[in-house]
Chain A
Amino acid sequence: MLNRQPFTVGFPRADMHALLAPDILHQVIKGTFKDHLVTWVEEYLIRVHGKAGAAVIMADIDRRFVHISTFSPSDYLSIYPLYRIAAVPQFPGLRRFPQGRGFKQWTGDDSKALMKVSCNHHFVCIGTITSSFGH
């Protein structure tokens, strides 16, 4: 960095701290949802259920879409709302996740699509978590 400050010191009327502008993709979709919410829920599951238990739950979330032949109404009415992510049926505008959420490299579209099917499930999970804190 020139003189230990951002490169914008070398340009007129340019202050990096003022130029940094928030946008929905980077701050809301990537920052809040993918980097924070999804990661937080996964870390919570590991802390509560242990690594193996969390892996089972997360695999279950992903599994239900691949093995469509084993899909049954009881799966859909599972007592764990978080499991319903992948059991979402086909619907225009909803993307399906046959391989679960195991992307090697997330794109913005992946995050946005996952938000559509899982956002309410994460919030229900959080609701379950916060309600159990009171006990």
Chain B
Amino acid sequence: MCSMFHIALADRQHENDPHFRNFRRQLFHTTLHYILQPLRAGMETPEVVKCADGHFRRIVWSLGPYIADYPEQVLLSGVVQGWCPRYVSDAILPVVCCNAHRSCRCTAPPYDLDGEGYVRRSHVHTRALLDTFDAKALWDDYGIVSHIVVSLFPLSPLSRCLHKRLTC
């Protein structure tokens, strides 16, 4: 599947602007959402597919592993730069964890990922945190980015613009 992917670029002076960074993250996620949307039907309704062994089976498709370097992982997971995109810890220590990044703030060591004190990130967990804490607490204590800059629902000018481009 081939698709056109918008990468938001800015002049150097705007690179560290929080509004631009927010916009870039939201553009990235919205683009991926729209690109993968046509595949969604196959994620709920089984399709009959001829497998490599020649047999036909009902297949339910799902999104698979996403491999990326740390900066892209930060963009994808919505965590604060320096935090682990897979685990939350209740202490901030600069250790090299499962993600092998020098400033990663996760304290779950590779040999004890299920130990006490480390919480595995999940959408359910993040959703609960978003409903409970304000943006500052989320950033400082949980390493979650929660700012909203633009509304990305179908009626917004930005998403109309994106939708038009992606369906050309």
Contact = CB atoms under 8 A, between A and B. Distances in A.
Contacts of B100: 22, 27-28, 31-32
A5 B69 CA distance: 20
Instruction: Bin the interface of chain B by size.
Output: 35 or more
Interface in B20-72: 25-26, 29-30, 32-33, 36, 40, 43-44, 62-70
B30 A7 contact: yes
A3 B146 CA distance: 9
Max chain B CB contacts within 10 Å: which of A10, A19, A35? A19
Contacts of B77: 6, 16-17, 20
Contacts of A6: 29, 76-78, 123
B67 A23 contact: yes
A68 interface: no
Contacts of B81: none
Contacts of A35: 69-70, 101-102
A12 to B, nearest CB: 5
A2 interface: yes
Interface in B65-102: 65-70, 73, 76-78, 85-86, 96, 98-102
Contacts of A47: none
A31 B102 CA distance: 8
A32 B64 CA distance: 25
Interface of B: 25-26, 29-30, 32-33, 36, 40, 43-44, 62-70, 73, 76-78, 85-86, 96, 98-102, 120-123, 126-127, 130, 145-148, 152
